[in-house]
Amino acid sequence: MFISIIIPAYNEEERLKSSLESLHHYLSSKNYDYEVIIIDDGSTDKTKETILESMLAKAGKLIFLTNGKNKGKGFSVKQGILHSLGEYVLFSDADFSTPIEELDRLLGYLTNGYDVVIGSRSAKGANIAVHQPFYRETMGKIFNLLVQIFVLRGIHDTQCGFKLFRGQCARVIAGEVKIERFGFDVEMLYLAQKNNYKIKEVPVTWTNSATSRVNPISDSFKMFLDLLSIKKLHG
């Protein structure tokens, strides 16, 4: 299996249909083996039906997992990675704010010695097609500054939902992940550094989704608490 694509989904019936159509169109043009693993995180809408009716499911290329109840994005991504078989593992947000076509660029770095390649909205050359509201961008910059101070240096955008790993590295990291919600991105990158994996931050095209699931107040506070716990969790 060349690549596993992991997509966590929670109440995504509106956004997921077009995302899966784009993904199927992209992957159909490739000559490598792939699997798409979607984890339903306790959705209460028609997310499951949308997934199972997709062309990927009909083509037998989709693995559907469910948490039964809402456990968090971090928990979902971890489960998806641990179920994966790919030589490479990508996880992406369900809305494809970073278009799937960016995978071509990221794969080029993994085949040139890197272990982890992350899409970045802050790296020089990034193209922000549609910006977040000002207050969200400001809070994101503050969060990234706190990441630099408290957890890890040298990475300027830990929260872009488009990250590619060597499969073996991804599964090692996922086996150690403990944070179940939004702070897991930072934890994964911290664990990558701790395991001496070579990380590359790559500028990508990114479009803000107006229906973001992240609450700018309550979730930001929880993510800050997660930051403070990462080094303690991994002593």
pLDDT in tens, 112-152: 889 999 999 999 999 988 878 888 888 888 888 899 888 98
Q: Which residues contact 57 (CB under 8 A, 6 or more apart)?
A: 51, 64
pLDDT of residue 214: 66
pTM, two decimals, is 0.93
pLDDT of residue 76: 98
For residues 176-192, one letter each, b for 16 or more C-beta atoms within 10 angstroms of the residue's C-beta and e for the rest, the string is ebebbbbbbbbbbbbbb
Q: Which of 180, 187, 183 is nearest to 219 (CA)?
A: 183
Of 7-11, 64-68, 227-231, the poorest mean pLDDT is in 227-231
Task: Sheet containing 88-92: give its strands across.
Answer: 62-66, 34-40, 3-9, 88-92, 162-166, 116-120, 199-203
Q: Which of 230, 165, 206, 195 is nearest to 5 (CA)?
A: 165
Could you read off the pLDDT of 41-81 as tens digits, one per residue? Answer: 999 999 999 999 999 999 999 999 999 999 999 999 999 99
Matching CATH number, 3-233, of 3.90.550.10, 3.40.50.300, 3.40.309.10, 3.40.50.720? 3.90.550.10
Is pLDDT above 70 for 174? yes
Q: Which residues contact 107 (CB under 8 A, 6 or more apart)?
A: 88, 164
Could you read off the pLDDT of 95-108 as tens digits, one per residue? Answer: 999 999 999 999 99
Q: Where are the domains of the chain?
A: 3-233
- pLDDT category of residue 218 using cuts at 50, 70 and 90: confident
- pLDDT category of residue 13 using cuts at 50, 70 and 90: very high
* Residues 37/117, Cβ–Cβ less than 8 Å: no
Q: Which residues contact 163 (CB under 8 A, 6 or more apart)?
A: 90, 91, 116, 117, 118, 119, 185, 188
Is pLDDT above 70 for 215? no
What distance in Å separates the CA atoms of residue 127 and residue 98, rounded to the nearest whole number?
A: 10
* Residues 182/222, Cβ–Cβ less than 8 Å: yes
Q: What is the DSSP letter of 43?
A: -
Q: Which residues pair with 95 in a beta bridge?
A: none
Q: Phi and psi dihedrals of 184, rounded to 5?
A: -65, -30
Which structure tokens are listed for 86?
Answer: 């790919």
Which amino acid, residue 217? Answer: I
Q: How many residues does the chain have?
A: 235
